[in-house]
């Protein structure tokens, strides 16, 4: 009975053990089934992927590839499995080892390695791939494998190469275009420079015409010098024309320049300027025209109008340009009419001619710089200067014209403000004792003029024709003042001034220059210069310069410290 019970217990234990094993087998079977299902899903995904998939072991032997790999590289599964992955690499074995080390370091740092490089197909052709490489653990022992997902990017790279080549060609074309543009710009600059030079000659010739005309009248017409009244009138016209010539260079930069804040305008009698302009242009519209068999009549209707604020020289130049433009528009004969009248807060000034007139296109473009219908005879600057002057005087200008019926320019200027009172510029009277002056100037005629100016006030002086000679004379004598030109050959006024100030910092220096209007107080040259005297020279301007530096001269003579030098 005991043995029977013991046997039953053993059978029961074995049955329990068997049931436990069966339960475990069922769990394993379920896990296997699930794993199999997952593997089937993975295989389907991998098989359907368009990207090539490659799995290699730690020795870089290929253990798995998908169908996309086979079609991409041209190998069958049997041909590629167990082969070293280096057969796909373009490069030496040493380069492959370095590349794999780089990939391992990147994966250890970032978890994966993405890289673009070249691979080799079975047929030996080279193509570009993008490979995302990572490490995966497989099996019970969790052995590491290299997993690569590869995409053929050859077409992409070809597009990149094409774009790169296109960009290179575009850069080359742009460089060639820049060269061509630079040539064209240089050509246009030279053309504009030639037109500007022509315009300068045009304006200077306008100024020289009355100078030469009235000079010839006094020199060549018998008995003309006996009529003192006429001589005085001629000399006044010559002086006015010469002063206007001095404004030509400044006006070249004033086509559309705005009025500067510190630019001072004074009340001007425009009727008086019209009369002066008619007299200044008489050699052109009357004397020269009659020689050519052309009769031009000028009439005026000048009402008693208020004054306008402005610069006499500029407004006179405006009127002169309009008169000469009208003369050019009447190649056979005709008449010019100048009229003024007041309208509200403006003075209206009109210039009309009976000339050839303008087309609508010409009328619209007549104020453009360098635009001309006169061919080689025109510069295209006259009316653009007129437009610039009108705008700077806060005025307005209109043109009425019709082909064959003449042209009418209508200009309006604001009436001068009542609170602005006209004040005559008072000449600075500064009594200076006779000074000993060094004059350095390379132009003989200017040296002679300066000598005449200095002799009027009994000053003594020594002349030098260049900077080097000026240095030598200065070192041998004691001078109260130095007057020097700026632009001289060899040693210019800048160097001479620096040399003199090193020897005697207190001696005043007046620099004479044709660029005075373009130099300002911040200019480096003024560091050694006490006064800037612009050309052309006049007695009034010259004496004003001497008065301006008189205090420094007296301080230097009396050994008084000059605060401005500190």
Q: State which of 414, 445, 475 marks the end of a domain.
A: 414
Overall number of domains in the chain: 2
Residues 274, 379, single domain; the answer is yes
Phi and psi, residue 290, nearest 5°: -65, -35
Q: At 265, phi and psi to the nearest 5?
A: -105, 145
Residue 153 Cα to chain centre, angstroms: 47
Residue 67 lies in a domain: no
pLDDT at 445: 78
Q: What is the DSSP string of 17-60?
A: HHHHHHHHHHHHHHHHHHHHHHHHHHHHHHHH-SSEEEEE-TT-
Examine the domain organization and report whether 556 and 468 are in the same domain. Answer: yes
Whether residue 9 is contained in a domain is answered as no
Asked if residue 379 belongs to a domain, the reply is yes
Supply the range of the domain harboring residue 325. 238-414
> Do 248 and 388 lie in a common domain?
yes
Which pLDDT value is given to residue 347? 96
Kindly report the three-state secondary structure assignment for every residue of 420-443: CCCCCCCCCCCCCCCCEEEEECCC
Last residue of a domain, one of 414, 447, 481: 414
DSSP category for residue 417: P
Same domain, 402 and 535: no
Considering the entire predicted model, what is its pTM?
0.43
Res 521: pLDDT:
37
Whichever domain contains 514, its CATH number is 3.40.50.2300
Do 410 and 476 belong to one domain?
no
Q: pLDDT band at residue 161, thresholds of 50, 70 and 90? A: confident
Write out pLDDT tens, residues 334-368: 999 999 999 999 999 999 999 999 988 888 888 87
Tens digits of residue pLDDT in 204-253: 666 676 777 778 778 877 777 888 888 888 888 888 777 767 666 555 54
Domain at 377, CATH number: 3.30.565.10
267/487: higher pLDDT: 267
What is the per-residue pLDDT across 291-325, written as a single tens digit (0 to 9) for each? 788 899 999 999 999 999 998 888 988 898 899 88
Task: Assign 23 a pLDDT band (cuts: 50, 70, 90).
Answer: confident
Q: What is the pLDDT of residue 256?
A: 43
Same domain for 373 and 483?
no
| Average pLDDT taken over every residue of the chain | 80
Q: Last residue of a domain, which of 384, 414, 444?
A: 414
> Is position 252 within any domain?
yes
Average pLDDT rounded to a whole number, residues 182-201: 57
In this structure, the answer to whether residues 410 and 440 fall within a common structural domain is no
Which sign, positive or negative, has the C-alpha torsion 524, 528, 534, 540? positive
| Same-domain status, 397 and 273 | yes
Indicate whether 528 belongs to any domain: yes
| pLDDT in the model for residue 522 | 38
Task: Give 544's pLDDT tier (boundaries 50, 70, 90).
Answer: confident
Same domain, 268 and 394: yes
Each residue's pLDDT tens digit, 89-117: 998 989 999 989 999 999 989 889 999 99
- Binned at pLDDT 50, 70 and 90, residue 48 comes out as low
Q: In this structure, is residue 72 part of a structural domain?
A: no
Residue 377 within any structural domain of the chain: yes
Residue 372, in any domain of the structure? yes
Q: First and final CA of the chain: distance in angstroms?
A: 138
Give the pLDDT score at 559: 52
Q: What is the pLDDT of residue 262?
A: 55
Residue with more model confidence, 251 or 395: 395
In a shared domain, residues 245 and 381: yes
Residue 474 and residue 381 in one domain = no
Query: What local confidence, expressed as pLDDT, does residue 520 receive?
Result: 45
Residues 468 and 410 in one domain: no
């Amino acid at each position: 009975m005991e043995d029977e019970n013991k046997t039953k217990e053993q059978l029961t234990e074995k049955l329990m053990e068997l049931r436990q094993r069966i339960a475990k087998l069922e769990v394993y079977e379920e896990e296997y089934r699930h794993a199999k299902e997952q593997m089937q899903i993975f295989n389907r995904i991998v098989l359907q992927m368009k990207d090539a998939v490659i799995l290699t072991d730690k020795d870089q032997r290929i253990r798995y590839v998908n169908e996309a790999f086979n079609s991409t590289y041209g190998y069958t599964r049997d041909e590629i499995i167990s082969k070293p992955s280096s057969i796909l690499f373009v490069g030496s074995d040493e380069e492959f080892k370095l590349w794999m080390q780089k990939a391992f370091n990147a994966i250890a740092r970032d978890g994966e390695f993405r890289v673009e490089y070249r691979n080799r197909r079975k047929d030996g052709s080279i193509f570009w791939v993008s490979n995302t490489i990572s490490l995966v653990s497989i099996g019970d022992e969790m052995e590491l494998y290299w997993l690569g997902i590869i995409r053929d990017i050859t077409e992409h790279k070809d597009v990149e190469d094409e774009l790169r080549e296109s960009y290179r060609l575009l850069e080359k074309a742009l460089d060639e275009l820049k060269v061509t543009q630079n040539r064209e710009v240089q050509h246009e600059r030279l053309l504009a420079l030639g037109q500007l030079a022509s315009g300068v000659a045009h304006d200077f010739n306008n100024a020289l015409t009355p100078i030469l005309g009235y000079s010839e009248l006094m020199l060549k017409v018998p008995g003309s010098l006996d009529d003192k009244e006429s001589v005085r009138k001629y000399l006044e016209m010559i002086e006015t024309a010469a002063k206007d010539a001095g404004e030509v260079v400044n006006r070249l930069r004033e086509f559309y320049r705005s009025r500067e804040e510190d630019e001072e305008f004074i009340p001007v009698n425009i009727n008086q300027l019209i009369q002066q302009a008619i007299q200044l242009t008489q050699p052109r519209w009357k004397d020269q025209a009659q020689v050519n068999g052309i009769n031009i009549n000028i009439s005026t209707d000048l009402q008693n109008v208020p004054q306008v604020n402005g610069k006499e020289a500029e407004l006179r130049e405006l009127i002169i340009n309009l008169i000469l433009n009208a003369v050019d528009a009447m190649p056979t004969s005709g008449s010019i009419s100048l009229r003024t009248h007041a309208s509200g807060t403006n003075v209206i000034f009109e210039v009309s001619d009976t000339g050839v007139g303008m087309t609508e296109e010409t009328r619209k473009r007549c104020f453009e710089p360098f635009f001309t219908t006169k061919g080689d005879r025109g510069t295209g600057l006259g009316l653009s200067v007129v437009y610039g002057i009108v705008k700077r005087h806060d005025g307005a200008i209109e043109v009425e014209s019709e082909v064959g019926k003449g042209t009418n320019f209508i200009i309006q200027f604001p009436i001068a403000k009542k609170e602005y009172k006209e004040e005559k510029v008072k000449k600075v009277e500064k009594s200076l004792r006779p000074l000993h002056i060094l004059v350095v100037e390379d132009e003989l005629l200017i040296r002679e003029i300066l000598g005449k100016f200095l002799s009027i006030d009994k000053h003594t002086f020594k002349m030098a024709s260049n900077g080097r000679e000026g240095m030598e004379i200065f070192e041998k004598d004691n001078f109260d003042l130095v007057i020097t030109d700026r632009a001289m050959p060899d040693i210019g006024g800048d160097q001479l001034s620096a040399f003199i100030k090193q020897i005697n910092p207190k001696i005043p220096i007046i620099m004479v220059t044709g660029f005075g209007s373009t130099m300002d107080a911040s200019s480096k040259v003024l560091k050694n210069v006490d006064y800037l005297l612009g050309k052309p020279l006049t007695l009034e301007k010259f004496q004003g310069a001497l008065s301006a530096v008189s205090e420094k001269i007296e301080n230097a003579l009396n050994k008084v410290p000059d605060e401005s030098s500190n």
